Amino acid sequence: MSSKEKQVFLCASCGHESGKWLGRCPQCGEWDTLSQAKAKPRLLRTTAQVFPLNGQGGEEAERLVTGISELDRTLGGGIVPGSMILIGGDPGIGKSTLILQLLAALAQQQHKVLYVSGEESVRQIRMRAERLAVQSEQIFLAAENSVQAILSLVDEVQPAFLAVDSIQTLYSETVSSAPGSVTQVRESTSLLVNLAKRTDLPIILIGHVTKDGSIAGPRVLEHMVDTVLYFEGDSSQVFRLLRTVKNRFGSTNEIGVFEMKESGLAEVDNPSALFLAERPVNVPGSVVMPSVEGTRPILVEVQALVSPSSLGTSRRTAIGADPQRLALLTAVLEKKIGVTLFDHDIFLNIAGGIRIDEPALDLAVIVALLSSLYEKIVDPATVVCGEVGLAGEIRAVGQIEMRLREARRLGFKTFLMPESSRRQLEASAAEGIQIYPVRTVHEVVERLFVA
Ligand code: TYD
Ligand code: MG
């Protein structure tokens, strides 16, 4: 087979590939953007092997387990050899810190690791390492932006794991557009993906998130990698969530919870306690909901403030929950319970800065709204969850047992849940906690607010 490199022409603005030079890019219509580049290596075929379906060979090699369990969980149980992991997050959220701690954990197991930063100098990285008390002969550092240079560094160092910080600062010498541009991001990532697949080297890539919430330089990036993790949290708060949004090697929606401390990120193995730590008790408008993120139950406090609008227009604000869902639930309350809300301002907040997207939140939202509206306290030892339908019916939620166990573990005494979920529970599951099954929002009102 010929190894002669084929010449191609790449558009600097959209990345379109053409076999011959053209004055105008047929894909994006830009003029004079095509320039000669080396063709992407497509010779992976030469290393491909086939295996019989019923037989041996081609098994997944063992995962690298970091020992940071909050991280291992989001990865689906550790790092898969040859996998490409993208970790996105706002600048300053703690991505570089997390990566350095990850590398330290691997180095501690005598794995040689390489950390390439295009963002910081070796001196700056060393300063962070000092702060984190990370010390190891197994961690190698380089300040580099060129992917080709990174490839030769990998060749030289032969690490067991590579971290690249960040994709926005990388450039491939085969493309002339600026670092951070779509073409560069795509080309650089594809070269790294290639390296991972060819050599079985697992790679973690850091990406900043833009204002609109996507990892800068296109969605394309998410399609190119195996695993996408988002590191999020309010930088004014101490806790950070690592959320799996895509994983070819595990389930999505997993979360890992960390706390940012003076000496780096600490694992939080009891997040429910963290999220409920500052809960005001005996205050109207507050109720606890047992949510499930991936395989992990977390109790959160749902807060609502409902008060008559002083201006002509009423306000609706939802923080940590879907505003559309809030609008829908408000409409259900008006129609089914007969409360008047159009002339009230409504603020909804999931305390602690966490975001809950599952429909099981509905019932807690309704209870918090009514509690605030009626100025009636919900018993602080009560948790509620359930999906609410347009007819005011309370619908079943998944993983009810997991929610129940977590509520009981944290000392809650009463659980208001959909009648249909109650039926899925074994009788013994309810030991030590009082279950109130409900079928409609009407029943909820009677149970909680009509003395
Ligand atoms: P960093 O990891 O540099 O964020 P990113 O790479 O996502 O931009 O960390 C950012 C913040 O974290 C920084 O403002 C300082 C803070 N921090 C701590 O509070 N404790 C620590 O031990 C470290 C290293 C950073
Ligand atoms: Mg950084």
| Segment among 218-222, 230-234, 252-256, 397-401 with least mean pLDDT | 218-222
Of the candidates 88, 106, 107, 85, the one whose C-alpha atom is nearest the C-alpha of residue 96 is 88
Between 232 and 136, the higher pLDDT residue: 136
HEC letters along 427-444: HHHHCCCEEEEECEHHHH
How far, in Å, is the centroid of ligand 2 from the Cα of 125? 10
**DSSP 3-state assignment of 73?**
helix
pLDDT in tens, 316-360: 999 999 999 999 999 999 999 999 999 999 999 998 878 899 999
Ligand 2 centre from 89 Cα, in Å? 10
In angstroms, rounded to a whole number, what is the distance separating the alpha carbons of residues 271 and 293? 11
Per-residue pLDDT at 38: 58
pLDDT for 225-267, tens place per residue?
A: 999 999 988 767 778 989 898 999 998 878 899 999 999 999 9
| Dist. CA 427 → ligand 1 center (Å) | 48
- Residues ≥6 apart with Cβ < 8 Å to 374: 284, 449
Task: Order across the sheet with 17-18: list the strands.
Answer: 17-18, 7-11, 34-38
Distance between CA 397 and CA 200 in Å, rounded?
A: 40
Ligand nearest to the CA of 118: 2
Q: Ligand nearest 91 Cα, by number?
A: 1
93 CA distance to ligand 2 middle (Å):
8
Determine which residue's CA is closest to atom 9 belonging to ligand 1: 94
Ligand 1 atom nearest to 231, measured from its CA: 7
How many Cβ atoms from other residues are within 10 Å of residue 231's Cβ?
A: 24
**353 Cα–ligand 2 center, Å:** 22
Largest CA distance in the chain: 84
Distance 130 CA to ligand 2 centre (A): 16
Distances (CA, A) of 219 to 180, 209, 216: 13, 11, 8
Q: Whose CA is nearest to atom 23 of ligand 1?
A: 264
Ligand 1 nearest-atom number relative to CA 97: 2
Closest ligand to 99 CA?
A: 1
DSSP classification of residue 254: -
pLDDT of residue 44: 46
CA of 127 to the centre of ligand 2 (A): 13
* Number of other residues whose CB lies within 10 A of the CB of residue 20: 8
Give the pLDDT band of residue 25 (cuts 50, 70, 90).
confident
Q: What is the predicted pLDDT for the residue at 1?
A: 40
CA–CA gap between residue 157 and residue 159 (Å, rounded): 6
- The span from the CA of 165 to the CA of 327, in Å, is 41
Flag whether pLDDT at 389 surpasses 60.
yes
Using DSSP's 3-state secondary structure scheme, residue 101 falls into: helix
Enumerate the β-bridge partners of residue 348: 304, 318
For residue 251, the model assigns a pLDDT of 85
**Pairing outcome for strands 7-11 and 17-18:** antiparallel
More confident residue, 347 or 20: 347
Q: What is the pLDDT of residue 2?
A: 44
Return d(Cα 387, Cα 297) in angstroms, integer.
Answer: 17
Kindly list the protein residues whose Cβ atom lies closer than 6 A to any atom of ligand 1.
89, 91-97, 128, 131-132, 260, 262-264
Segment 179-192 mean pLDDT: 88
Using CB atoms within 10 Å of the CB of residue 129, give its burial: 0 to 12 exposed, 13 to 18 middle, 19+ buried.
Answer: buried
The phi and psi torsions of 397 (rounded to 5 degrees) equal: -120, 160
| 168 CB-side CA count, 13 A | 17
**Averaged pLDDT, 32-46:** 61
- Average confidence (pLDDT) over 365-375: 97
* Per-chain residues with Cβ under 5 A from ion ligand 2: 96
Residue 3: band (very low, low, confident or very high) from pLDDT cuts 50, 70, 90: very low
Closest by Cα among 210, 256, 202, 189 to 229: 256
Contact 180, 217 (CB under 8 A): yes
State residue 8's pLDDT score.
Answer: 79
32-36, 82-86, 336-340, 347-351, range with the lowest pLDDT: 32-36
**Torsion angle of C-alpha atoms 333, 338, 343, 345, degrees rounded to 10:** -30
Nearest ligand (C-alpha, residue 117): 2
Helix residue ranges per DSSP H, 25-66: none
Contact at 8 Å (CB) between 20 and 37? no
Q: Give the closest residue (by CA) to ligand 1 atom 1.
A: 94
213, β-bridge pairs: none
Q: How confident is the model at residue 173 (pLDDT cuts 50, 70, 90)?
A: very high
> Which ligand is the nearest neighbour of the Cα of 233?
1
Q: Which of 93, 95, 97, 166 to mutate to test the pocket of ligand 1 (most atoms within 8 A of CB)?
A: 97
Residue among 204, 260, 262, 263 whose CB has most ligand 1 atoms within 8 A, to mutate:
260
Q: What is the DSSP-derived secondary structure letter of residue 244?
A: E
CA–centroid distance, 14 to ligand 2, in Å, is 27
- pLDDT classification of 291: cutoffs 50, 70, 90: very high
pLDDT at residue 367 above 60?
yes
Ligand nearest to the CA of 169: 2
User: Which pLDDT band holds residue 48 (cuts at 50, 70, 90)?
Assistant: low
Q: From the CA of 108, how far away is ligand 2's center (Å)? A: 22
Per this entry, what is the length of the chain? 451
Highest-pLDDT range among 220-234, 263-277, 389-403: 389-403
Give residue for tokens 């609410």.
388
DSSP calls for 325-382: HHHHHHHHHHHHT----TTEEEEEEEGGG----SGGGHHHHHHHHHHHHHT-PPPTTE
Q: Is the pLDDT of residue 72 over 80?
A: yes
Rounded to whole angstroms, the Cα distance separating 387 from 43 reads 51
Looking at residue 233, its amino acid is: G
pLDDT at 43: 45
Distance 165 CA to ligand 1 centre (A): 14
pLDDT of residue 219: 60
pLDDT at 163: 98
- Mean pLDDT of all residues belonging to the chain: 89
Which atom of ligand 1 approaches the CA of 128 most closely?
24
- Give the SS3 label for residue 156: helix
Per the CB < 8 A criterion, the answer to whether 41 and 80 are in contact is: no
Closest ligand 1 atom to Cα of 206 = 6
In the predicted structure, residue 217 carries a pLDDT above the cut 60: no
Residue nearest to atom 12 of ligand 1 (CA): 94
Beta-bridge mates of residue 438: 418
**Is the separation of the CB atoms in 388 and 416 below 8 Å?**
no
